[in-house]
C-alpha cells in the first residue's frame, strides 16, 4: 500500500467560497460547518461561503474558518475510505492535523484557534511588527543576517517559517525586519518581499499570545493521536498527547520547521502527499522541497475526485 500523508494549510490559504461545494454535496461536510457555527456562536459557514473577504481576512476569523474548511474536506475523505499514515499542518494547520488524528475535539479546536487569532492580534500593536519573505538565501546565512539586523537595541528579527530551501519568512520588530530584508538583498538573496500581515507571527514578540494560549490549551482534553503528527516546532513526529499540547504552545513563538517536517515524512517513505483544505500552498512548497513526490489537494468536488482516483489506483 502506498503510504499517504495529509497536509493541512495555514493562514493565507483562505478564499471566499471555500468548503461551499463540499458542504452542498456531502452531509458530513455540511455538518462540520454547522458544528463550527454552533461552537463559535456565529455563522462562520456564511463567512466561508459568501465572505465578505475583508472579514475573512481578520485573524480571529481566518483561523477557525480554515480549520473548519479543512476538517470538512478531511471528513469527506475519511467517508470515502482515504486515510493517512501521517499528518502535518502548517502553523494553524497543526490544529487541523490534531483534530484529524483525534487528539483534539473539533469544537474545542475551533474555539481555541479563534482565541489564538485574538491573542496573536493583540500581542503586538499594529505597525510595531512585520514579516518578510526572503527568496534564495539559505537558513544559516539568513540567521546571520537576522543577528546583524537585530543589533544591540533589543529589537527582534528571526526566521519564522522555514518553508522550503528557497523560501524563508522572517518576523519581528518592523525596523529590524526592514533592515534584515535590505541586508539580504545586498548579500545576494533573489528577493525580499515585505508581507501584508497583521502581526509578526512565530517570533519572540508573540510571547504574550503564547502565555494566554497556554492556559487555554491546558484546560482542554488531549488524547494520544490515532496516527503520527509531525510537529512544527522541531519537525519530529509524535503520537503522545502531552507532547502534542506542548508543541502547540511553543509554536506560537517558535519557527515553523516545514522543511524539516517534510524531510521527516519523506524519510518515513511517504510517497503521496494530500493537501486537505483550501488552496495549494503546501503542494507548491513540496515542489521546492522534493519535486519527485506526488502532491494532490482536496478543496472541492473536482480535486476530491481526482485525489480519490489517484490514491485508489
The tens digit of pLDDT for each residue in 193-221 reads: 999 888 999 999 999 999 999 999 999 99
**Whether residues 297 and 209 fall in one domain:** yes
**Whether residues 238 and 180 fall in one domain:** no
pLDDT of residue 5: 98
Q: Domain total for the chain?
A: 2
**Whether residues 91 and 178 fall in one domain:** no
**Whether residues 214 and 193 fall in one domain:** no
In terms of Cα–Cα distance, which of 197, 183, 181 is closest to 129?
A: 197
Contacts of 241 (CB under 8 A, 6+ apart): 103, 222, 223, 224, 225
Catalytic site residues? 91, 202
Mean pLDDT, the chain, rounded, equals: 96
Residue range 274-296: mean pLDDT, rounded: 97
**Whether residues 29 and 65 fall in one domain:** yes
**Whether residues 32 and 156 fall in one domain:** no
Query: Which residue range is the domain that position 190 belongs to?
Result: 129-197
In terms of Cα–Cα distance, which of 238, 202, 234 is closest to 222?
A: 238
How would residue 313 be classed by pLDDT, with cut points 50, 70 and 90? confident
CATH of residue 229's domain is: 3.40.366.10
**Whether residues 157 and 219 fall in one domain:** no
pLDDT of residue 24: 98
pLDDT at 2 over 90: no
Q: Count CB-CB contacts under 10 A for residue 219.
A: 9
The tens digit of pLDDT for each residue in 236-248 reads: 999 999 999 999 9
With residue 5 as reference, give the H or E element that holds it: strand 4-8
pLDDT at 68 over 90: yes
- Give φ, ψ of 152 to 5 degrees: -115, 15
Tell me the C-alpha distance between 1 and 226, whole Å. 19
pLDDT at 1 over 80: no
Mark which of 197, 224, 239 sits at the end of a domain. Answer: 197
The alpha carbon of 9 is separated from its chain's Cα centroid by a whole number of angstroms, namely: 5
Tell me the C-alpha distance between 304 and 298, whole Å. 5
CB 33 within 8 A of CB 45: yes
pLDDT of residue 154: 83
pLDDT of residue 244: 98
Burial class (CB in 10 A: 0-12, 13-18, 19+), 312: exposed
Mark which of 197, 222, 253 sits at the end of a domain. Answer: 197
CATH of residue 142's domain is: 3.30.70.250
**Whether residues 90 and 46 fall in one domain:** yes
CB 260 within 8 A of CB 270: no
The tens digit of pLDDT for each residue in 157-182 reads: 999 999 999 999 999 999 999 999 99
**Whether residues 95 and 231 fall in one domain:** yes
The tens digit of pLDDT for each residue in 101-151 reads: 999 999 999 999 999 999 999 999 988 999 999 999 999 999 999 999 998
Amino acid at each position: 500500500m502506498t503510504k499517504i500523508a495529509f497536509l493541512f494549510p495555514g493562514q493565507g490559504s483562505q478564499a471566499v467560497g471555500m468548503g461551499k461545494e463540499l458542504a452542498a454535496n456531502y452531509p458530513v461536510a455540511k455538518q462540520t460547518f454547522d458544528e463550527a457555527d454552533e461552537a463559535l456562536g456565529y455563522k462562520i459557514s456564511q463567512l466561508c461561503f459568501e465572505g465578505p473577504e475583508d472579514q475573512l481576512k481578520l485573524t480571529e476569523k481566518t483561523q477557525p474558518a480554515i480549520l473548519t474548511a479543512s476538517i470538512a474536506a478531511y471528513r469527506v475523505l475519511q467517508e470515502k475510505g482515504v486515510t493517512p499514515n501521517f499528518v502535518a499542518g502548517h502553523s494553524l494547520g497543526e490544529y487541523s492535523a490534531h483534530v484529524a488524528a483525534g487528539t483534539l475535539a473539533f469544537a474545542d479546536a475551533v474555539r481555541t484557534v479563534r482565541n489564538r487569532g485574538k491573542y496573536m492580534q493583540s500581542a503586538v500593536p499594529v505597525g510595531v511588527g512585520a514579516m518578510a519573505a526572503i527568496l534564495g538565501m539559505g537558513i544559516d546565512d539568513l540567521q546571520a543576517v537576522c543577528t546583524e539586523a537585530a543589533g544591540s537595541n533589543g529589537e527582534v528579527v528571526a526566521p519564522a517559517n522555514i518553508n522550503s530551501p528557497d523560501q524563508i519568512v522572517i518576523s519581528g520588530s518592523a525596523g529590524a525586519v526592514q533592515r534584515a530584508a535590505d541586508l539580504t538583498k545586498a548579500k545576494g538573496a533573489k528577493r525580499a518581499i515585505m508581507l501584508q500581515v497583521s502581526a509578526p507571527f512565530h517570533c519572540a514578540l508573540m510571547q504574550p499570545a503564547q502565555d494566554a494560549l497556554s492556559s487555554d490549551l491546558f484546560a482542554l482534553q488531549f488524547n494520544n493521536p490515532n496516527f503520527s503528527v509531525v510537529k512544527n516546532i522541531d519537525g519530529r513526529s509524535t503520537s503522545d498527547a502531552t507532547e502534542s499540547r506542548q508543541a502547540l504552545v511553543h509554536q506560537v513563538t517558535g519557527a515553523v520547521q516545514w522543511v524539516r517536517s517534510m524531510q521527516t515524512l519523506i524519510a518515513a517513505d511517504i510517497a503521496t502527499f494530500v493537501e486537505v483544505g483550501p488552496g495549494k500552498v503546501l503542494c507548491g512548497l513540496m515542489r521546492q522541497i522534493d519535486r519527485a513526490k506526488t502532491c494532490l489537494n482536496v478543496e472541492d468536488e473536482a480535486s476530491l475526485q481526482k485525489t480519490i482516483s489517484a490514491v485508489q489506483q
